[in-house]
Structure 1
Amino acid sequence: MVRIGYTMMTGQAGPQELVGHVVGAERAGFDFSVISVPSSPWLEAQGHAPYAWSVLGAAAQATSRIPLMTYVTCPTFRYHPAVIAQKAATMQLLSQGRFRLGLGSGENLNEHIVGAGWPAAHVRLDMLEEAVGIIRSLFTGGYVSHHGTHFDVENARLWDRPDDPDRDAAVARAHNQFRWALGGWKVNEELPGPAGFAQASQHTRPEDVADSIPCGGEVDAFVDAVRPYVDAGFTAIALIQIGGDQQESFLDWSETGLLPALGEL
């Protein structure tokens, strides 16, 4: 299954037009959308370079289904990685889970405007790696300080942050609510009530559950768990999301990540 995306080209249209375009792309049935994040058009004949992050915010409010993604933004020159993390977190909240942050090492065309020079490729890639580490740290929550080769961060925190897939929390939730499932049918078919299931699973450890059930936000782990059933010829496979208070976030994640990946099986 191939997912087809629509590109909002900020080099060739103004902000209002771009929002209208992505609304049309959603109506037409495109699977996702991406937006270029330049400070300049590639040719003067294109004639536009609106601020992509404002366009994304407007697009999030004007659409309801289509996933939105940067294609790509550079977190090393024009934008400090801590600022990129804040932008991405806000977009994920505005879009109700439809946003994906695309990062790259940038182009001189767009990044030279801040006067920071344009180092060699290996330096730019090293900067990108450090920036990605800062962004990931901020998305885990709490205060972040960082003093690295290229960037400094002092007590930064994302105050408005989307719920991140947390594997440890997922394992704890699965152990709390679903450890009974590891007992096997020979045991489970005979137990008369919750007390029996609780007793039978009292020695089941969180790590035992984690070895049997994919937990967290790694799509590949779920695909690997489903693949044997697809290979065996099953034509209908039902997924169980453990935790009654996690269904909405699971559905949002499924729409943009899990279901497209499973569709490729």
Structure 2
Amino acid sequence: MKIGYFLSCEEYGPAELIYQAKAAEAAGFESLWISDHFHPWTDAQGNSPFVWSVIGAISQVTSLPITTAVTCPTIRIHPAIIAQAAATSALLTEGKFILGLGSGEALNEHITGSRWPDTKVRLEMLEESIEVMRELWTGEFVDHHGPHYTVENARLYTLPDAPPPVYVSGFGPRASRLAGRVADGFVTVAPDEDSIKVFRDAGGEGKPVHGGLKACWGPDKSACVSIARESWPNESLEGEMVQTLSSPKHFEQAGSLVTDEMTAESVACGPDLDTHIAAFKPFADAGFDVMHVQQIGARHQECDIDGFFEFYRDTVLPRVRELS
């Protein structure tokens, strides 16, 4: 199992993300995930830089593969524009860009005033958007008149030698089946063996499975738990509310129900090596190919980002790679 680093556009500004990307490569991480949000989940996270600008900058300071985790190409931004952004990113990364896609959250997608569809419709839109993007990556003029999208007489002139791989995020059987049928890989943040089986049975056999988790490293576990709960209460939230709540304020209200005990169960907190190794083990057991870990609270003195990278370089990465 390979280990990458998860860049959080919800918690860090562009300069901080670029610094973390360089530090991750120096520490021995093998790839990068980067989130694509218009809003942070909560005001405490406090950021939401435009991911495509950040990817361009990161591509010039590291050689690591970069995956969006994940982009929603259905409402906020038309898939033709995402196709152009992904093609340019693939060129800048010399073919090491992966377009991770998902059906999105109301938190980010409602901002244009468009209706927030139900899950079935969102997955239909996602599948059609992938069709549109792959048509455009051929370099031919495209006319597309589908149930959700129109593209008229459009051609992408700046293209990589090969189109970027498309990975699809899945949190249930319908999305997992869609990923197996149309995607080049699978993205999920839960070690759910059932979802992976659905993905593989639907056509994903032999395709990569990528996952992500969060950590809050620091010398004082109780301080780390408190910072993780205040910064990322949404990490302990489950169910459809994650897709349907429409503002950071709503997530803060839901997050007020999250306790320190819940946070300690969902986030690897503190300096104990075994705690961090244990967070990866369910993913290794479920057969994940690549895992990405995000450091929460790096702007807090208690959660120094350089200390995190040193800890993972010297102790965690060698042990985690032994799990698979």
Task: Tell me the TM-score normalised to structure 1 length.
Answer: 0.61
What corresponds to 2:148 in structure 1?
Answer: 150
Letter in 2 for 1:138: L
Aligned to 1:101, the other structure's residue is in SS state strand
What corresponds to 2:7 in structure 1?
Answer: 8
Are 2:95 and 2:162, in contact at CA under 8 Å, matched by a contact in 1?
Answer: no
Query: What's the CA shift string for 1:29-64, capped at 9, x where partnerless?
Result: 11110100000110111111111110000000111x
* Unaligned residue ranges in structure 2 (runs of 5+): 164-203, 208-288, 291-323
1:163/1:219 Cα in 2 relative to 1: closer, same or farther (>3 Å)? Answer: farther
Identity %: 52
What corresponds to 2:75 in structure 1?
Answer: 77
What corresponds to 1:133 in structure 2?
Answer: 131
CA distance in 1, matches of 2:119, 2:54: 30
CA distance in 1, matches of 2:205, 2:16: 34
CA distance in 1, matches of 2:90, 2:205: 18
Shift of 1:220: 5.0
Letter in 2 for 1:98: K
Larger Cα-atom Rg: 1
Q: CA RMSD in A?
A: 2.3
Aligned to 1:6, the other structure's residue is in SS state strand
CA distance in 1, matches of 2:73, 2:18: 24
What corresponds to 2:53 in structure 1?
Answer: 54
The answer on 1:116 being equivalent to 2:149 is: no
1:88/1:219 Cα in 2 relative to 1: closer, same or farther (>3 Å)? Answer: farther
User: Higher strand proportion, which one?
Assistant: 2
CA distance in 1, matches of 2:139, 2:205: 22
Shift of 1:108: 0.5
Aligned to 2:67, the other structure's residue is in SS state strand
CA distance in 1, matches of 2:162, 2:97: 13
What corresponds to 2:159 in structure 1?
Answer: 161
Letter in 2 for 1:22: A
Letter in 1 for 2:31: F
CA distance in 2, matches of 1:219, 1:117: 35
Query: What's the CA shift string for 1:79-125, capped at 9, x where partnerless?
Result: 11110000000001111111111011101001111111201110000
What corresponds to 1:93 in structure 2?
Answer: 91
Number of residue pairs matched by the alignment: 172
Shift of 1:219: 11
Letter in 2 for 1:155: N
CA distance in 2, matches of 1:145, 1:3: 40
Aligned to 2:60, the other structure's residue is in SS state helix
CA distance in 2, matches of 1:91, 1:53: 8
CA distance in 1, matches of 2:155, 2:33: 27
Are 1:140 and 1:164, in contact at CA under 8 Å, matched by a contact in 2?
Answer: no
CA distance in 1, matches of 2:10, 2:109: 15
Aligned to 2:87, the other structure's residue is in SS state helix
Letter in 2 for 1:124: R
Aligned to 1:38, the other structure's residue is in SS state coil
CA distance in 1, matches of 2:18, 2:162: 27
The answer on 1:107 being equivalent to 2:102 is: no
Task: Tell me the TM-score normalised to structure 2 length.
Answer: 0.50
1:90/1:219 Cα in 2 relative to 1: closer, same or farther (>3 Å)? Answer: farther
Query: What's the CA shift string for 1:223-265, capped at 9, x where partnerless?
Result: xxxxxxxxxxxxxxxxxxxxxxxxxxxxxxxxxxxxx89xxx9
Shift of 1:153: 0.1
Are 2:4 and 2:32, in contact at CA under 8 Å, matched by a contact in 1?
Answer: yes
CA distance in 2, matches of 1:41, 1:74: 15
Letter in 1 for 2:117: P
The structure showing larger relative contact order (alpha-carbon pairs under 8 Å, at least 6 residues apart) is 2
1:160/1:23 Cα in 2 relative to 1: closer, same or farther (>3 Å)? Answer: same
CA distance in 1, matches of 2:154, 2:33: 28
- Counterparts of 1:20-35 in structure 2 under 5 Å? 20-35=19-34
